[in-house]
Structure 1
Amino acid sequence: MWCLLLPFSSRAQVPQTISGTVQTEAGMPLPGATVFFKGTYNGGSTNEEGQFQVKADFSKGPLALSVSFIGYETQTLTLNQPDNTLLVTLRPSAVLDQVVVAASRVEENIGQVPVTVEKISQRQVEQITTPDLVAGLARFKGIDVSSSSLLTTSFSTRGFNSSRSERVIQLSDYMDTQLPSLSSYFGNLLGTPVLDVASVEIVHGPASALYGANAFNGVLLTNSKDPFKDPGLTVRLRGGNRNLLDGQLRYAVKIGERVAFKIAGGATIADDFIADNQDATSTLIEAGNNPAGSNLGYDAVSRYGDLGNTFTTGALAGKTVFLPGYTEGELIAGDNKTRSYKIAPSLSVLLTNSIRATVDYKFTQANTTYQSASRYRFVNSGAHQGRVQLDGRNWFVRGFTTHDYSGGRDPQTNGSYNLGFLGAFLQTRLVPNTYAGAPGQPAQLPYAQNYFQVYAKNYGDRLAVNGQNADEAAAYARTEANRLAPQLQPGTADFDVARDQIIHNPTPGQGARLVLRSVLNEGSGQYTLNNSFADVTVGGAYRQFLLGSDGSLFEDTKDGDRIRNYEYGAYAQASKTLLDSHLKLAAAGRVDRFQNFGTAFSPRASAVYSLGTDKLQNFRASFSRAFRAPTQNDQYIKLDVGRAVLLGNVRNGFLGYTTALGSRLVTDPTILTPGRASELASYEYSGPALKLEEVNSYEVGYRAQFFKKLYVDVDYFYNSYNNFIATQNFIGNLDGSRPSTTQLGAGAGVRFQSPVLANGTANSTRIIQVAANVDQEVQSQGAGLTLSYAFAPALTVNGNYSYNALLTKTFKEGTQSFFNTPRHKFNLGVDGQALGRALSYNVNYRWVESFLYESTFATGTVPMAQTVDAQVGYTVKSLRTTLQVGATNVFDAPNLQVYGAPSYGRIGYFGLLFDIK
C-alpha cells in the first residue's frame, strides 16, 4: 500500500529548492551543520564550504527551517517562500541551550529538567580515551565505573555500585542493551558504535515513573546519529601499548529523498588486564579462611582451586588446610587477548515527511573477563539484537529482540568458562597415590584427597617429633605435600589436556563451561499530546525473558525449555508551565505488573523555577518512588561455587540456620543433642521469597549559567529504601527446608561446603546464598557539584565533586549492602579548541577516595586512586584527517575499581580520524 501512496504523494507535491551558507560569527564556514524543517525528516547537512541545498513544499504554508551545529545555538528561520541566498550565522551556545530527552522522554531544555542529568556531546565522546565508551564516563559528576577487565565495564550513580549495573538501565536509542542471561551491560558491548554516537545522556537517581523497574539509580541513554541529518564516511584507526589495535567505521548515505542507510561498527584487540590479588579472601566469603601466608595455606582472592578441608580428627582437628591453587594467568593459559567486534546496519524509510520506518540489527562478539559470583572468561560471546520501529513527530511504536550467546553449545567448540570451576575441577583429577597410610588404598586418588592425606600425615609426624611447634609442623607438612603430591603444573601436557577437557565440558558439577542462550523481547509505544492546558505523554511496554543456560547458571536443563518471565507496564506524564513559563510543574506515574512480584506504582512529582528573562538560573525539586525487580539471576540462579550454593528466591523462601552455627559445631558438636534444642533454635534462620525493592527519593538542585562563561550545577538527594535487596548466607537444605540435627552433624565435617559427604553420598545440607530483602529501612544521601568556566574557545576549565554516604551502618548478620561507593571523589580538567578549531585537547585529573567493596566473589578495600587522562588532536582540513594522541591513566597509577579485578592501567595510543561529509 505504501508503495502505491508514495509515488502519488511525490506527484502531488511541487518541491522547490532552498539553499544558503552556514557560518560562525567570524565568517568561517561550518561544514556538517544540520539543516532540517521542523516537525519533519526533510533536510540535509552543509558541505565543506558550509553550503546547503534542500527542497521544500510551501503548498501548506510557511515552513520553519532549523539550523544546528554542535557547540552553537540552534537557529530557526521562518520561510514563506523559496530563498537561495540564505546566510545563517551561528553563535556559540550556552550549556543551558542544550536539549535533552532522557529525563522526561520528551525534548526539553536542560535548564528546565526537573532532575539531575548530564549530557555528553559528540565532541566529548570523541575525546574519551578509554577503548570502551562507558569506561570513560568516570570523569563526569556522580558517575562510578567498575571495570572487571579492559573491555568489561559497568556504571552506576548514587551508590550501590557493582560490576553488574543491576540498579541502572542502559539504553541505545531506547533499546535495552543488557545481556539477558546476566542482567549486565558489559560496557558499550551492545550499545551504539562509538562513531555513530550523537550524544550520551545520564539521568541520576530514580526514573521508574517513566522507564519502569530497575531505572532505580539512573539511566544511561545513547542517542545515535540520524543518517538523514548526518551522512558521510568516518573512519578511526588507533594503535598503542598493550598491543592495542582499534578500528572503527561509520558510513551513512541518503538514497533519494526518502531512504537512508547507515552501517557502523568496529574491532578492538589488546592484551587484557589480569587479576593478581593474593590477599586472603574475606571470611564473609570463605568461612574459616586462614590469614595470607599461613603455612596451612589460604584461599586467595585471585587464586582458584585453593580449596579448603577442615579436619575433625587427628592432630589437625579444628584446622582448615587449603590447596595451593592456580592464578588467573595460569588458568587463562596465555589467552590474555581481549577483543571486541561489532557491526550495526540500519535502514530508514520516510513514509511521509513526518513518519519514518526503521529496521536495524546489531551483532557483537567479544573475548573478555567478567566478574560476578566468580571470574568468568568469555570466549566468542556476545549478542544479536534486531529492531523494527515506526515513529512520527510526537509518537513511536517499536519492538526489539536480544539473543545472547557464550560461544558454541557444542562441547567441541570454544566457549566461555568459569575460572572458579576450572581451578576446582583441576583438583579432582586422579593422580598416583603417594599416601603411605593404611593398606588397601587405591593406586590413584583425586589430587585434593592425595594432598590433604600427605599433609596430615607429615603434620602429625612432625608435631610428634617437635612437640607443640604447630607452625613449624605446618611449614614442614606443606613443603612435603607440595613435593610428594604436587598439583598439575601449568604449561605441562597433562595440565593442558585436563584444562581443555574441563573448559569444554558443559555438564554441571563436572565442567567449567558456561552456556548463555537467553532472549529478551520487548514491545513499546508512546504518544505525546501538546495543548494549551498541559503537555501530556502516555506510553506502555511489555517485556519477556526466556532464560537458558543448559543448567550452567540457571535452574534450567540442557534439553528443557527456557525459563519464562515477564513484566509489563503503562505510564503517563503531564507538565504545565506557569508564570510566563518561569515555573514548570510536572507529574508522572507508572504501573508495572510482574510475573513473580505482583503490581507496583512509581510516581514522580517535580517543580522547576527559572529566574531572569533568559531563564539562566533554575531551581529544581522533585520526589520520586522507584522499584527494583530482582535480577534474573536473583530469581532463577542455581550455581554451586563450592563454598556455597547460589539459589534463586522467588518461590516459598528458605528455612535454616545462620552461618555462625557452622563455626560453633567445629568446637562444640554437642549443641545438636536434644537437651540443647533451645540453644540450637537461637541460630535459626527464616527468609521469605523476594519482594520488589522500593526507594523513595527527594532531590533539590540548582543549575545556572552566568555570562555564557560560568556554568554551575549543584544537587542534593536523600534516599530511603524499603525491602532492600542484599545477599544472605545461611545453612540450609537445597529444597528450602530446615536441616535436621542428623544432617547438621554430617555436614559439619566439611563446613557444609562440599557437595559430597565423607561416605560418598550427596550432601543436601549446604551453605546457601540467596538474594533476600532486609527487614529494615536503609538510608543514603549524597550531593554533587559541577563548575565550568570558558575563558575562551581555546581554554575551558572544569571540575566536579561528588559525595555519597550510606547512612545505615548496621545490617543483619550475614548481610552485605554492596554500597561500593567512595564517600568523596572529584575531577579537574581543561579542554579547548584553537587554530580555527584545527587543534583540540583535553586533560582530566581524577581522585577517588578508598572505600569498601563488597560482592559475592570478593570483599575488601579498594585503595585511593589518582589518574590522569589526556588527548590532543590536530585536523588537517585539506585531507579531512585528524591526528590523535592520547592516553588513559597517563602515569600508570594504581587504579583498582572492582575488588578482585585487575587495576586499570595505562593505555596510550596514536590514531587517525578520517571524516568525509
Structure 2
Amino acid sequence: MRTILKIFLLLFCVSSYAQTTIKGKITDNSGLPLPGANVIVLGTTSGTMTDFDGNYILTVSQTPPFTIQISSVGFETQTIEVTTNNQTIDITLKEGNELDEIVVSASRTPERIFESPVTVERFGLKEIKNTASADFYDGLENLKGVDVNTNSLTFKAINTRGFATFANTRFMQLVDGMDNSTPALNFPIGNLVGMTETDVQSVELLPGASSALYGANAFNGILFMTSKNPFDHQGISGYYKQGITSQEASGDNSYTDFGMRAAHKFSDKFAAKVNFAYLKGTDWAATSEVDRNDPSRSRSHYGYNGINVYGDEVSTNIRAASGLGIIPDVVVSRTGYNEKDLTDYNAESVKADWGLYYRPWADDFEIVYQGKVGTGSTIYQGTNRYNIDNFTQQQHKIELRNDNFFLRGYVVGDKAGDSYDMVFTGINILNAWKPHEQWFADYIETYAGIELMGNPLGLSEQQKHDAARAVAEQGRYQPGTPEFKAAFNRSINDPDLLTGSKFQDASKYYHTDANYNFSHLTDVADIQVGGSYRKYSLNSFGTIYTDYDGNIDYSEYGIYTQIQKNIDLSDNVELKLTGSARYDKSEFFDGFVSPRISAGFTINKNHNIRASAQTGFRNPTTQDLFIGLDAGVGILVGSAPDNLDRYVRDYDISTEGQGLGTPAMVTQTGAAAYNNSYSAASVQAFAASGNPALLETGNPEVVKPEKVSSLEVGYRGKLDKTIIDLSIYYNKYQDFISGENVVAPLYGTVGDNSLSIAALANGDYVGYQTYTNSEADVDSYGASIGISTKIFGDFDLSGNYTYAKQDFDQDAFPDFRTNFNTPEHKFKASFGNTDLFKNFGFNIAYRFSDDYYWQATFGDGLVPEFHTVDAQINLRVPSLKSTFKAGATNLLGDEYFTAFGTGFIGSQYYISWTINNL
C-alpha cells in the first residue's frame, strides 16, 4: 500500500510539475496589441505566440522561478522572471529600428544588420504586411539597389549590381537553404514554385559577390527566403485576393490569388506544417509590331521582321535564291503570326509544400524533412519567347541542425510539361501549310512574271512585292480556323525543332552542404567551417542539350572557413574583423579560391563604418557547357570539351558551292564555331561592302570560369529618428562570360582568302552564338543610399537612390555583349502609417527608373525611363482575426516595360482578406 501511495504521490508531483501556466497580453508602446509575438522559456524551445489580440497562454514543465523571453520583429526583446504559477504578465515592447533586426545571410551566423560586414537588405513580416505590391515577392522591387525585370505576371527576375537577363544565372535564390533555380534553365523562375506568403518568416537580400561563403554563382547576390517553423508558428492562416489586371493590349482581366497554411506542434518533440497557394490571371500581352531590324519599316515591307511577330524570321535573298538578274537583290521574309495568336496568355501558379520537424531531445537539435512542388504557366523570354505551360518543379530536403551546425541534402527536379517555343511554333505552322522553299518559289515566280511581261500595270516596287506576297499567301492558315489549330497542336507537341516547337526537359541536381560554428567551444573567435557538393543530371531528350543518347552528368564541390573577431578598442568603439576563404572545384576546370576580408567599426553604438574586399567566381552554366539548340536566327552551342563534336548537322550546299568542288551535302559540328569561324560583325561588313579585307577571324576560346574582384565601403547609422545606410562598390571582372556571335563557312578554312570567302558570298555558312570569355576589361561601379525616418509623429517615410555604371569599350569589341541591362539612376520612396487611426493603415510606394539599353539574345533596344506608384489601405478587425486590404500597382496607369520584347506592364487592382496570419 505504501508503495502504491509513493507512486501516486510521485505522479501527482510530476503532474504538478508539468502544469506551470502563465498568461498575459503583449502590446506596443502605443497600447496596440502585438499579434505573433514570441514568448519562450529562456534556454529552451518551449514557447508560444500571442494571438490576434496580443494575448498568450503558456503552459510548461518548468517550476518557477524561470525566465521568459518576449520578442517581436521590429521591437526590442525583453526578458521577465516568472516567480509563481498562474502568474499574469503583461508586457509593453518598445519599438526598435531596422538596424536592430537580426540577419544570418552575411556571415552565416545571427548578427544585427547594424554590424553586418557587408550590405544586407531585409524584408520582414512588417514589410510584407504593409507592402503596396500585389504580393510579398513583388514588394522586393522597393528594396535599395534591387532591379526587378518583369518577364510576365508570374515570372520576375531579381538582380543587383548589373549584368543580367531573364536567364539570370548570376543571382541565387535560396528557399530554406535550398537553391530554387531550375535544373534545366539554371535560374529561378521568380516565385512560380517558391514560397506561400503566409509561411514567409523573413527575406534577406545580399547584393554583390558572395562566393567566399556560398560558392559558384553567388556572383551578383543572393536572395534568402526563410519559412516559419511550426514549433514557433502554429495554427491555421490564409489569404484571399481578388482583382483585375488592366492593360491596353489585353483589356481588363480577372486576377485571383489565395493560399493557406496549417501548422501544429503535437508535442515538444514533433511538429508539422503544410502550405498551399493558387494564383490565376492573364499575362501582360506582348504585341509590338515594330520591325526589329528597322523601326521605320511598316509591316507591308517585304523584309519585315516584327518584334512580337513569329515566322517572319524565315527569310532569303530572292536574287540569290533564284539566280535571276531580273529579281531584286533584297531579303524577303515570310508573313508571320502575332504572338497573341500563339498563346492564351494564361498566368497560373499552383504550389504546395510540407514539413515534418522532429526534436528527439526537445532541445535545439532538430531533424527536418521538407518537400515542395509547384506547377504553373508563364511566359519566358530567352533567345526566343517561350510559353512555359504546366511546368513542374520539385524539391525534397532532409536536414539535421541545431544552433551550431547544419547538415542538409536535397534534390531538385523539373519537368517542362507542355511548354513550347512560340517563335518556332510560328515558323513551323507556316512550313506545315506551305514549305518555305515553295513559298519563296511562288513569290519569285510571281515577281519574275511581272518583270517578264514588262510590268504592264506600271506597278511600283512595293506593289510588285505586294502582288508576289499575295500569290504566295493564297491558302494561308488563318488563326482560329481548324487548319491553323491542327497545325498549332502538331507543332507544340513535336520536340523536333525542324517540324515542331515542344520544349522537353526532366533534369535534376543533387546538392548537399554543411556548416559548423565553433563559437560555443572557444571565446577566442567565431570560427566556422563548411562545404558543399553538387551533381547535375541533365536530361532534355536532345531538345536543349546535346544529351541525344542519355543523361549528361557532372559535379562540383567546395569547402570554406570563416573567422570573426570582435575587439573593444575603447568604451565607445568596437572593431569587428571577418576573414573567410572558399575553395571550389568543378570537374571541368581548375580549382579556385575566393577570399573575403572585412572590417567594421561601431562608434557610440549608433554608427557603423564598414569596408570589405572580396573575390567571386561564376562557373559556366549547364547551357554554357552543353547546350545544342538551333534557335532559328543562330545555333547556340556550348563549349564543354566533349560537347563540340556532339552537335552535328547536315547541310545542303548551294549550286555555286558545288561548282567549287564541294559535295552536295556537308556535315558540320559545333566545333566549327570555335575553330573555323569569322566574327559576325565582320561578315555583316563584308556583305555590305563586298570587301573581304574587312573579315576578321572569330574562333573564340572555349568558356572557363568568370572572376570578379570587389571593393565595398559603407556606413550605417542612427541620427535621432533617422536611419541611414550608404554603400559604394567597385567591381573588376576577369574572363567575363558572355555570348559571341560568329559565322562558320560550310567549306574552306577561315583565313584562306578564297574558298571560305566564296562560302560566305554564296550563303553557305551557319551562324552560331558561342559561350566564351572576353579579353576586354569589364568593370562596374556604383553606390546606393537609403534613408528612413518618422515624420509628423508616427508616419513612416523612406527613400533610396541607386547609381550603377559599367566601364566597357563596346566599339573595341563589337561582337561582345556584357548584358549590363541596368539603369544608371534609380529612386524609390515610400510613405505610410501602420496606425493612421485605430486598426487602419496605409502605404504608398513610388519608383523611378532611368532609361537604359537592354541587350539579350532575343533582341536589343532602349528601355525608356518610367515612374510608377503603388498604394494600399488596410483595416484590421481583431474580432475576426483578419486584415482587409485594398491596393493598386501602377496606380497612374502609365504602361512601361523593363526589357526589350516583353509586354507592357499595366495596372493591378485588388482587395484581399488575410486571416490569422500572425
The normalised TM-score by structure 2 is: 0.88
Aligned with 1:310 (options 317, 322, 329): 317
Cα distance in structure 1, aligned partners of 2:230 and 2:206: 26
2:250 corresponds to 1:258: no
Bigger shift: 828-837 or 109-118? 828-837
1:731 aligned partner, one-letter code: V
Shift of 1:911: 1.6
Q: Give how far 1:16 is off.
A: 6.0
Cα RMSD, aligned residues only: 2.9
For the 8 Å contact 2:447–2:464, the answer to whether it is kept is yes
**2:185 aligned partner:** 182
The C-alpha deviation readout for 1:265-285, integer Å capped at 9, x for no partner, is 2100011111112222259xx
Contact 1:282–1:858 (CA under 8 A) maintained in structure 2: no
Moved more, 160-169 or 451-460: 451-460
3-state SS of paired residue (1:514): coil
Q: In structure 2, what is the equivalent of residue 280 of structure 1? A: 291
Q: Which amino acid aligns with 1:719?
A: N
Q: Which residue of 2 aligns with 1:699?
A: 712
Deviations 1:393-447 (A, max 9, x none): 111111111110111xxxxxxx11011111111221254xxxxxxxxxxxxxx1x
User: What does residue 195 of structure 1 align with?
Assistant: 198
Partner of 2:386: 376
1:94-493, aligned counterparts within 5 Å? 94-131=97-134, 133-241=136-244, 242-282=253-293, 291-293=297-299, 295-306=301-312, 307-311=314-318, 312=320, 313-314=323-324, 315-332=326-343, 335-352=344-361, 353-407=363-417, 415-431=418-434, 446=435, 448-462=436-450, 472-486=460-474, 487-493=476-482
1:857 is matched with 858
Is 1:463–1:470's contact at 8 Å kept on the other side of the alignment?
A: no
CA drift at 1:111: 0.6
C-alpha separation in 1, matches of 2:751 and 2:187: 34
> Does structure 1 residue 730 correspond to structure 2 residue 746?
no
Q: Once the two structures are superposed, what CA deviation does each residue of 1:432-489 show, in whole Å capped at 9, x if it has no partner?
A: xxxxxxxxxxxxxx1x333323333444455677899999313332244135524321
CA distance in 2, matches of 1:868, 1:230: 34
Deviates more, 1:70-79 or 1:490-499: 70-79
> What is the CA distance between 1:260 and its match in structure 2?
1.3
Supply the distance in 1 between the matched residues of 2:440 and 2:66 (Cα, whole angstroms). 84
Contact 1:155 1:161 in 2 (8 A): no
Judged with a 3 Å threshold, the aligned counterparts in structure 2 of structure 1 residues 479 and 197 are, in CA distance, closer, same or farther, namely: farther
Q: Say if 1:734 and 1:88 are closer, same or farther in 2 by CA, change over 3 A.
A: farther
Q: Pick from 636, 640, 648: which aligns with 1:650?
A: 640
- How many Å separate the matches in 1 of 2:19 and 2:281? 52
C-alpha distance in structure 1 between counterparts of 2:170 and 2:44, whole Å: 36
CA 1:749–1:86 in structure 2 vs 1: closer, same or farther (change >3 Å)? same
Matched residue, 2:904: 903
- The 3-state SS of whatever aligns with 1:499 is helix
Relative to structure 1, the CA distance from residue 455 to residue 190 in structure 2 (aligned partners, 3 Å threshold; closer, same or farther) is same
Per-residue CA distance 1:278-303 (angstroms, 9 max, x = gap): 222259xxxxx995556223212111
1:888 maps to what in 2? 889
Q: 1:138 to 1:782 in 2, by over 3 A?
A: same
From 619, 631, 638, give the equivalent of 1:629: 619
* Unaligned runs of at least 5 residues, structure 1: 1-9, 284-288, 408-414, 432-445, 672-678, 753-764
Q: Secondary structure at the match of 1:275?
A: coil
CA distance in 2, matches of 1:535, 1:182: 37
SS at match of 2:114: helix
Q: Alignment partner of 1:213: what SS?
A: coil
- SS of 1:195's equivalent in the other structure is helix
- Structure 1 828/685 Cα, relative in aligned 2: closer, same or farther at 3 Å? same
Q: 1:450 to 1:853 in 2, by over 3 A?
A: same
Q: CA deviation at 1:87?
A: 3.4
Counterpart Cα distance in 1 of 2:306 and 2:458? 22
- Distance in 1 between residues matched to 2:917 and 2:739, nearest whole Å: 52
CA distance in 2, matches of 1:826, 1:670: 49
Q: 1:769-823 CA deviation, whole Å, 9 max, x = no partner?
A: 0121001221110010111111267411111111000112335231111000000
Contact map agreement 2:291 2:304 (CA 8 A) in 1: yes
Letter in 2 for 1:50: G
Decide whether the 8 Å contact of 2:131 with 2:843 is kept in 1: no
Identify the residue that residue 75 of structure 2 maps to in structure 1.
72
- Residues 194 and 374 in structure 2, CA contact (< 8 A), matched pair in contact too: no
Give the superposition deviation at 1:262. 1.1
Query: 1:128 Cα shift?
Result: 3.8
Q: C-alpha separation between the residues in 2 aligned to 1:626 and 1:83?
A: 56
Q: Which letter maps to 1:650?
A: A
What secondary structure is seen at the aligned counterpart in 2 of 1:146?
Answer: strand
Are residues 1:545 and 2:564 paired? no
**Could you say what secondary structure the match of 2:916 adopts?**
strand
Name the structure 1 match of 2:867: 866
Partner of 2:654: none
**Distance in 2 of aligned mates of 1:916 and 1:715:** 35
After TM superposition, the structure 1 stretch with the greater mean CA deviation from structure 2, 294-303 or 584-593, is: 294-303
Evaluate the alpha carbon distance shift between residue 569 and residue 458 of structure 1 in structure 2; reply closer, same or farther with a 3 A threshold: same
Q: Is contact 1:35–1:66 with CA below 8 Å preserved after alignment?
A: yes
Cα displacement (A) at 1:382: 1.9
SS for the counterpart of 2:717 is: strand
Q: Distance in 1 between matches of 2:678 and 2:835?
A: 67
Map of 1:760 onto structure 2: none
Offset, 1:662:
3.4
CA displacement 1:715-762 (0-9 Å, x = unmatched): 110010000011101112799985986566456444x6xxxxxxxxxx
Distance of aligned partners of 1:527 and 1:12 in 2 relative to their CA distance in 1, 3 Å threshold: farther
Map of 1:617-696 to 2, 5 A cutoff?
A: 617-651=607-641, 654-655=674-675, 656-663=677-684, 666=687, 671=692, 679=693, 683-696=696-709
CA deviations 1:160-195 (Å, max 9, x no partner) are 131122111001111100111001211112322111
Deviation of 1:197 after TM superposition, in Å, equals: 0.6
Deviation at 1:139, TM superposition (A): 1.4
Superposed displacement of residue 331, structure 1: 1.2
User: 1:890/1:232 Cα in 2 relative to 1: closer, same or farther (>3 Å)?
Assistant: same
For 2:51, the equivalent position in structure 1 comes to: 47
Counterpart Cα distance in 2 of 1:664 and 1:134:
46
> Is the alpha carbon distance of 1:481 and 1:120 closer, same or farther for their aligned partners in structure 2, counting shifts above 3 Å?
same
2: distance between equivalents of 1:670 and 1:916? 70
C-alpha displacement of 1:46: 2.0
Q: Does 1:24 align with 2:28?
A: yes
Match of 1:804 in 2: 804
- Is this contact kept in 1: 2:541–2:550, CA < 8 A? no
Identity of aligned residues (%): 30
Bigger drift between 62-71 and 216-225 goes to 62-71
Instruction: Tell me what 1:602 maps to.
Output: 594
The answer to whether residue 729 in structure 2 is matched with residue 717 in structure 1 is yes
CA distance in 1, matches of 2:526, 2:86: 34
Amino acid at match of 2:712: E
Match of 2:828 in 1: 827
Conserved? CA contact 2:419–2:504, under 8 Å: yes
8 Å CA contact 1:290, 1:296 repeated in 2: no
Unaligned runs of 5+ in 2: 1-12, 245-252, 645-670
Q: Distance in 1 between matches of 2:345 and 2:292?
A: 24
- Matches of 1:38 and 1:736 in 2, distance apart? 78
Distance 2:456 2:151 in 1: 45
Which of 541, 546, 555 is the aligned partner of 2:546?
A: 555
